[in-house]
């Protein structure tokens, strides 16, 4: 079956006959356009009598021939003529199919400018969001009945209890690594015993809380952003506002509160697990018995180290939860934004946690908690 | 040549001229304990607009999803264009899928693509060889055909109103020039003028393109204005199929309530005899 029958002999000045046959459909349009080779301004007789099926694409093709050439149409059924009319009515409008794109040079400039503005806006927005959260907190302190305990407990279970396994395992392994690496270095001074000091102090002061913060940011900060983002897209947040429920109070505060409560507990637990990991390694490789390890660790670790852990943890919790909720609330327009904001929430939270951790380190050593 | 094979497979010429486009027999669908359909039979004839009505949650959308293969039924047989859809392998199913277009309840436009890209996506998927200029012209007339403004092709779904989204959804559903169109509550959430215009659009498209339309709706005006026959879903099956007059003659309580209730009566009185196929 050929789409295009052989063109008839063309006498000079006579119109050329194009007879189509078979299907004129989307599936064939490529070969049809390839086979039909007409010169601009050529006079044509288009014969459709052999066409079995014609869809809108076929009709559009004929319409285009008629638009661009002098065409006499023969052999078309009434049905085909109707279809041609329908397509002709819709085709050739000055349709706009792509959003306007600025020229490349100004686009680069615009992108840089946009990024700077965006960074500024994010910072301002984050501050504003934090302020709104403080106001809500104030209101809840004034009227404690506004606190949604149920939501807090529910979040606490997900953020805290469900994270125990992974955080415990991770801290245990990190404890082993620190003890092993520490022992290798300290052995050079014959001070292997100080591995205990190293593990127990670094776990409380830095590692426990930092690893926990990173894990919670990855697990819960991202979840907050995705949850609030999808709710925002489905206009659930707007619906909530309309009903008179403040999203800050119902969505954000319970999440922040749960994270703030969970972080110190998790950080303490992570520290203990890291020390436990170090203890196992010391027992297996350095022949330090657990009893000795614990005694020595208690002597070596001042209680201030624990305080440092417990002070940093809730602050990091606030950062993680606020970043997650803030980014989630920024979602608009489309689903891709949810993914983008979720990533942004995690990156922002971890970045801020590490910056703040550096400040804390300087601060605590300058007040003499060394 | 691969393209020719695809073209042949996707473009059957000498298919048996069967007048039943969709044939559902003894369908059963469950979600866990909940039985949504049981012993459901339905035929859709070539070239008709079949309205599907039923209370909220009676399983209209699930029926549509079963027919288009998004939901595997527990029991029963579904034939579309005379081929059984259950247990079909992917390539065969693909060639059948190419012959229908679907408008989902919430339009389900791809939110990261413009309307024009949404329309071009199915074409690109099935006919990757077409050049961009041709695709653009095709998309442009499809968008115009669905009654959208000339600049709508460049817009993202988030920038469209509800009615425009539905129209954009229709133009995507029409992208491959289907023989069969599924519409899930197309006029829900549209203003009466917009809904009437949409009804008009569907009727025009059906007449111009000889489509068969499976139309789920709650809208009595739509039923009266454009549906050739109406199928009523209740008690987990299709309890009746027929023209509105035939349905009115039945004395099933739900049907009577539906067509003779305050809203139904208002439409019945005003629409008079204006009905296609009569
Ligand atoms: N994915 C699903 N999981 C569980 N139940 C579902 C699912 N989809 C639909 N249902 C149930 O099937 C029934 C029919 O739903 P649906 O077809 O959407 O109703 P409608 O007729 O309003 O379109 C409802 O009771 C709904 O709860
Ligand atoms: Mg539905």
- For residues A145 and A71, state if they share a domain: no
Predicted confidence (pLDDT) at residue B259 exceeds the cutoff of 90: no
- pLDDT value for B193: 87
Same domain, residue pair A11 and A71: yes
Q: Report percent pLDDT > 70 for chain A.
A: 96
Shortest Cα distance from B151 to chain A (angstroms)?
Answer: 5
Q: Does one domain contain both A73 and A175?
A: no
Domain boundary among A74, A92, A110: A92
Are residue A243 and residue A353 in the same domain, yes or no? Answer: yes
Judge whether A99 lies within some domain: no
Pick the last residue of a domain from A43, A74, A92: A92
Q: Are residues A63 and A188 in the same domain?
A: no
Residue A176 lies in a domain: yes
- pLDDT reported for residue B273: 43
For residue range A267-298, what is the model confidence (pLDDT) as tens digits?
A: 999 999 999 999 999 999 999 999 999 999 99
Separation between Cα atoms, residue B180 and residue A283, nearest integer Å = 73
For residues B225-250, average pLDDT: 91
Mutate to test the pocket of ligand 1, among B29, B61, B239 (most ligand atoms within 8 A of CB): B61
Residue A100 lies in a domain: no
How far is residue B188 CA from its own chain's centroid?
Answer: 14
Domain identity same for A156 and A87: no
Full strand arrangement of the beta sheet holding B49-54: B100-103, B180-184, B212-216, B49-54, B229-234, B237-242
Q: State whether A125 and A88 are in the same domain.
A: no
Site to substitute for ligand 1 among B28, B29, B36, most atoms within 8 A of C-beta: B36
- For CA atoms A218, A220, A226, A232, the dihedral sign is negative
Supply A14's token pair.
């006579």
Q: Does residue A299 share a domain with residue A219?
A: yes
- Number of domains comprising chain A: 2
pTM: 0.72
What pLDDT does residue A132 have? 94
Cα B63 to middle of ligand 1, angstroms: 10
Q: In whole numbers, what is the pLDDT of chain B averaged over residues?
A: 85
Percent of chain B past pLDDT 70, that is, above it, reads 89
Burial category of B106 from C-beta neighbours within 10 Å (exposed 0-12, middle 13-18, buried 19 and up) = middle
Q: Give strand pairing partners of A47.
A: A19, A74
Q: Is residue A214 part of a domain?
A: yes
pLDDT confidence of residue B278: 38
Structure confidence at residue B18 (pLDDT): 67
Average pLDDT over residues A294-309: 94
Residues A185 and A314 in one domain: yes
User: Is residue A112 included in any domain, yes or no?
Assistant: no
Question: Closest Cα to residue B234, out of B15, B46, B40, B1?
Answer: B40
> Which residue, of A92, A127, A144, is where some domain finishes?
A92
Question: E strand or H helix at B229, and its extent?
Answer: strand B229-234
Asked, for residue A103, whether it belongs to a domain, the answer is no
pLDDT at A244 over 60: yes
Residue A138 confidence (pLDDT) above 60: yes
* Contact residues of ligand 1, CB 6 A cut-off: B 31, 36, 54, 56-62
Query: Which CATH number is A18's domain given?
Result: 3.30.750.24
The answer on pLDDT for A64 being more than 50 is: yes
Question: Is A330 inside a domain boundary?
Answer: yes
Mutate to test the interface with A, among B11, B15, B157 (most CBs of A within 10 A): B11
Residue-wise pLDDT tens digits, A311-362:
999 999 999 999 999 999 999 878 888 999 999 999 999 999 999 999 999 9
Reduced to 3 states, what is the DSSP secondary structure of residue B70? coil
Q: Over range B224-252, report the average pLDDT.
A: 91
Per-residue model confidence as pLDDT tens digits over A16-36: 888 888 888 888 888 888 888
A234 lies in which domain range?
119-366
Where residue B238 falls (left for φ over 0; alpha for ψ -120 to 50; beta otherwise) is beta
- Do A200 and A310 fall within a single domain? yes
* A130 and A201 housed in the same domain: yes
Residues with CB under 5 A from ligand 2 (ion): B 61
**A245: in domain:** yes
Regarding whether A267 and A214 lie in a shared domain, the answer is yes
Among residues A191, A180, A344, A171, which one has the least CA distance to residue A271?
Answer: A171
Q: What is the pLDDT of residues B126-165, one digit of tens each?
A: 888 888 888 999 999 999 988 898 899 999 988 898 889 9
Tell me the pairing of strands B237-242 and A43-54.
unpaired
């Amino acid at each position: 079956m050929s789409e295009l029958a052989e063109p008839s002999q063309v006498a000079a000045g006579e119109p050329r006959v194009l007879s189509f046959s078979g299907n004129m459909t989307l599936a064939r349009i490529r070969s049809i356009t390839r086979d039909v080779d007409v010169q601009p301004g050529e006079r044509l007789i288009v014969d459709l009598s052999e066409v079995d099926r014609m869809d809108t694409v076929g009709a559009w093709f004929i319409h285009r021939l008629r638009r661009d050439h002098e065409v006499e149409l023969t052999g078309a059924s009434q049905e085909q003529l109707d279809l041609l009319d329908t397509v002709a009515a819709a085709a050739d409008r000055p349709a706009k199919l792509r959003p306007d794109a600025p020229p490349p040079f100004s686009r680069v400039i615009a992108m840089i400018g946009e990024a700077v503005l965006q960074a500024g806006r994010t910072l301002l927005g984050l501050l504003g969001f934090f302020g709104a959260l403080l106001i809500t907190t104030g209101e809840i302190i004034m009227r404690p009945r506004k606190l949604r305990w149920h939501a807090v407990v529910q979040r606490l279970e997900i953020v805290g209890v469900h994270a125990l396994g992974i955080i415990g395992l991770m801290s245990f392994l990190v404890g082993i690594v620190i003890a092993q690496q520490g022992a290798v270095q300290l052995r050079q001074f014959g001070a292997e015993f100080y591995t205990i000091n190293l593990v127990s102090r670094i776990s409380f002061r830095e590692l426990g809380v930092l690893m926990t913060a990173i894990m919670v940011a990855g697990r819960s900060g991202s979840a907050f952003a995705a949850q609030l983002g999808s709710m925002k897209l489905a206009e659930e947040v707007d619906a909530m506002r309309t009903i008179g429920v403040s999203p800050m109070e119902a969505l954000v505060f319970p999440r922040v509160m749960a994270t703030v409560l969970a972080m110190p507990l998790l950080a303490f637990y992570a520290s203990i697990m890291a020390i436990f990991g170090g203890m196992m390694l010391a027992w297996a490789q350095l022949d330090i018995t657990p009893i000795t390890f614990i005694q020595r660790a208690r002597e070596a670790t001042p209680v201030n180290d624990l305080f440092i852990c417990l002070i940093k943890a809730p602050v990091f919790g606030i950062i993680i939860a606020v970043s997650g909720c803030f980014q989630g609330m920024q979602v608009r327009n489309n689903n891709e934004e949810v993914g983008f904001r979720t990533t942004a929430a995690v990156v922002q939270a971890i970045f801020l946690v590490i910056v703040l951790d550096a400040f804390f380190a300087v601060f605590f050593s300058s007040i003499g908690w060394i | 040549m691969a393209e020719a094979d695809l073209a042949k497979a996707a473009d059957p010429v000498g298919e048996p001229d069967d007048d039943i486009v969709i044939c559902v027999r003894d369908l059963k669908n469950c979600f866990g304990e909940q039985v949504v359909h049981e012993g459901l039979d339905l035929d859709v004839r070539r070239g008709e607009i079949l309205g599907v009505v039923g209370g909220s949650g009676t399983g209209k959308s699930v029926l549509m999803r079963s027919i288009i293969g998004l939901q595997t039924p527990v029991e029963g047989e579904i034939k579309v264009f005379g081929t059984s859809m259950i247990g079909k392998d992917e390539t065969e199913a693909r060639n059948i899928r190419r012959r229908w277009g679907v408008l989902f309840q919430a339009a389900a436009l791809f939110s990261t693509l413009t309307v024009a890209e949404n329309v071009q996506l199915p074409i690109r998927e099935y006919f990757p060889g077409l050049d961009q200029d041709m695709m653009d012209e095709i998309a442009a007339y499809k968008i115009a055909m669905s009654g959208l403004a000339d600049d709508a092709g460049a817009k993202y779904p988030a920038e469209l109103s509800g009615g425009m989204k539905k129209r954009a959804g229709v133009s995507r559903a029409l992208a491959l020039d289907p023989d069969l169109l599924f519409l899930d509550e197309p006029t829900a959430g549209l203003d009466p003028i917009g809904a009437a215009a949409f009804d008009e659009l569907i009727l025009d498209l059906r007449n111009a393109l000889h489509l068969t339309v499976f139309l789920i709706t709650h809208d009595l005006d739509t039923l009266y204005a454009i549906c050739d026959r109406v199928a009523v879903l209740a008690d987990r099956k299709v309890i009746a199929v027929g023209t509105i007059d035939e349905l009115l003659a039945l004395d099933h309580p739900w049907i009577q309530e539906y067509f003779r209730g305050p809203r139904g009566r208002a439409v019945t009185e005003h629409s008079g005899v204006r009905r296609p196929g009569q």
